[in-house]
Structure 1
Amino acid sequence: MTEPRVRQVTEAEVAAFREHGWVLLRDFVRPTQLAALAAEIRRLMGTNAQRHKDGRGWLSSIWRTYDEPGHESERLWEFATSAEVGRIGARFLRDRPVRFLRDEVYVKMPTEEGGGQPTPWHQDFAYANRDRSEQLNFWIALADIPANGGGMRYLSGSHRAGLLGRSFDGEADDTVTRHPELVDEYPVSPQVALRAGDAYAHHAMSVHGAWANTSDAIRWSYTVVLFDADARYTGVPWAARLAEKMKTIKINDTFEHPLTPIVWPTGNCGQNEI
């Protein structure tokens, strides 16, 4: 049996992304594909996300993470680097060629189990090592998420606010505590229920976080990050887990490397057989 990995997006969704810096894509990942992704992620992490890689002190009260699962799973790699996903990312980034950057699983446990605290407000691009900010995150709900289940939140339009600096230096530190005027200038997105297969797409300059998970269900989400294929390396050090693998890329080089392939207009083409 074959089916597309993801559905196409509409002109209205592209326009909303460009206006607000984010857009909710209902029923984005096709059901059979979603089931395969969720099963593979649970194989890696366990049914309660007991195998995770964060280990970052106070951040463990927010989430359990699994970095680059696509490096360990052919199924996830084929999805994340597919031409289908790449084409959608390119549409949001004004039809530029795009590369795959990374994937990650973010699990938010219920607050009653000692986790699930709100994800602090931040911009993804503050941590980037590239000379241009055209970067897109797909945030995919792997299971149903109730409105109080720790879904994403955005400051709509904040992708136009400029680069606002790094945060996550402590529990009381985030982009909004450093720039409190943001909440007066950019409205907070609504807190909504998500169905399995729904996804958010957001720009790397968009100020965002996540609500607390006050439900009794584990929040499972999978992210795929794409970026402008012409971006050049600025010399900002790689994360330790990637430093050795990516050492061939020098300052001012583009990201010509097997781990950052161009996924549109090339990418893994065709429909996926499940």
Structure 2
Amino acid sequence: MTPTLMSGLDETITLSADTVEHYHEHGWTRVNEVIPREVALLLRERFLSLEPEDKAAELEALDIEKQNYTSDPEYRKQHLIHRENSLTEEFTRATRCRRVGSVVRRLLDVPEVQLFRTSLFEKKPESGGGGVTTLHQDYPYIPVDRSGSLTIWIALGDLPAETGTLQFVSGTHREGSLGRDRTFIKGYDRVTEMERKLDWKVSPAPSLRAGDATIHHDLTVHGAGINASSDTRLGLATLYMDSRCLFTGAPSAVTDGMPLQLNTAFPTTLFPIVPSV
């Protein structure tokens, strides 16, 4: 990454009052060029240049029964997931930069921002076997003792709405945790029940330029339509939290096997503090 691009990541962003208000009222918002466009395009190039064996996608849930998922291949149609440790160092630089940290701190309104996980979500075109990403919340899948974390989903490349960008059910961050989605075992799940009962309205899919982002609360119900384009949709999603959050011990593909202690803060050696000022 060139020095010029890196200096752009060290800048801070001042959010408008309307952007902050939209986030707190609706549970999601949009921020244009949360990272510089040139950086986003570089990240896309870096990912596409990886050797096939270096792009092996992970299942979000490694222990099928414990995570309430099944081996149903329909789940894999939603997206392929590439974790940070399989990506190049430019991704780490972008997700841990002051530019992004300033946005997160303003929306969370906390003293320190801590990074929980980074994933690149690869949604294949419908013609290549891709499908719909079903409605869900993020909070039921993270072993954190309080809700309120957020995810910044950055477009890597120019993404028209038809590529299947994220859509949201405004206000659902006030519903509390609705539990883990179990759609793929054809069983009961609270998200589907609430969707039918309340006749949820889903926000339109936005068109995003490279570097633009949607940002959502960990309790905001969200999903994505099919990718109706001919290109793969790449989105870099990082979940950030208040550094005062504690580890609950709940199963998670991110933390399973890590040397974490119950009811203690997440160690910054594994979950770094992100600069924000």
CA distance 1:90–1:45, change in 2 (3 Å): farther
CA distance 1:50–1:151, change in 2 (3 Å): farther
1:243 aligns with 2:247: no
Taking only aligned residues, the RMSD between alpha carbons, in angstroms, comes to: 2.4
Q: Which amino acid aligns with 1:53?
A: A
What does residue 154 of structure 2 align with?
Answer: 140
Deviation at 1:161, TM superposition (A): 0.8
CA distance 1:242–1:234, change in 2 (3 Å): closer
Deviation at 1:233, TM superposition (A): 0.9
What does residue 248 of structure 2 align with?
Answer: 234
Query: Does the 8 Å contact 1:58/1:171 carry over to 2?
Result: no
What does residue 271 of structure 1 align with?
Answer: none
Q: Which amino acid aligns with 1:158?
A: T
What does residue 272 of structure 1 align with?
Answer: none
Q: Which amino acid aligns with 2:170?
A: S
TM-score by length of 1: 0.85
What does residue 265 of structure 2 align with?
Answer: 254
Per the alignment, in what secondary structure is the counterpart of residue 225 of structure 1?
A: strand
Q: 1:172 and 1:96 mapped to 2: Cα distance?
A: 42
What does residue 66 of structure 1 align with?
Answer: 82
Deviation at 1:134, TM superposition (A): 1.9
Is there any run of 5+ residues in structure 2 with no aligned partner, and where?
A: 60-70
Q: 2:206 and 2:268 mapped to 1: Cα distance?
A: 38
TM-score by length of 2: 0.84
Per the alignment, in what secondary structure is the counterpart of residue 121 of structure 1?
A: strand
Deviation at 1:242, TM superposition (A): 4.3
Q: Which amino acid aligns with 2:147?
A: S
Query: Does the 8 Å contact 1:22/1:201 carry over to 2?
Result: yes
Query: Does the 8 Å contact 1:20/1:156 carry over to 2?
Result: yes
CA distance 1:106–1:67, change in 2 (3 Å): same
Quick one: which of 124, 128, 132 aligns to 1:118? 132
The count of corresponding residues between Structure 1 and Structure 2 is: 258
What does residue 32 of structure 1 align with?
Answer: 38
CA distance 1:134–1:45, change in 2 (3 Å): farther
Query: Does the 8 Å contact 1:90/1:264 carry over to 2?
Result: no
1:128 aligns with 2:134: no
Q: Which has the higher helix share?
A: 2
Identity %: 31
What does residue 95 of structure 1 align with?
Answer: 110
Query: Does the 8 Å contact 1:138/1:202 carry over to 2?
Result: yes
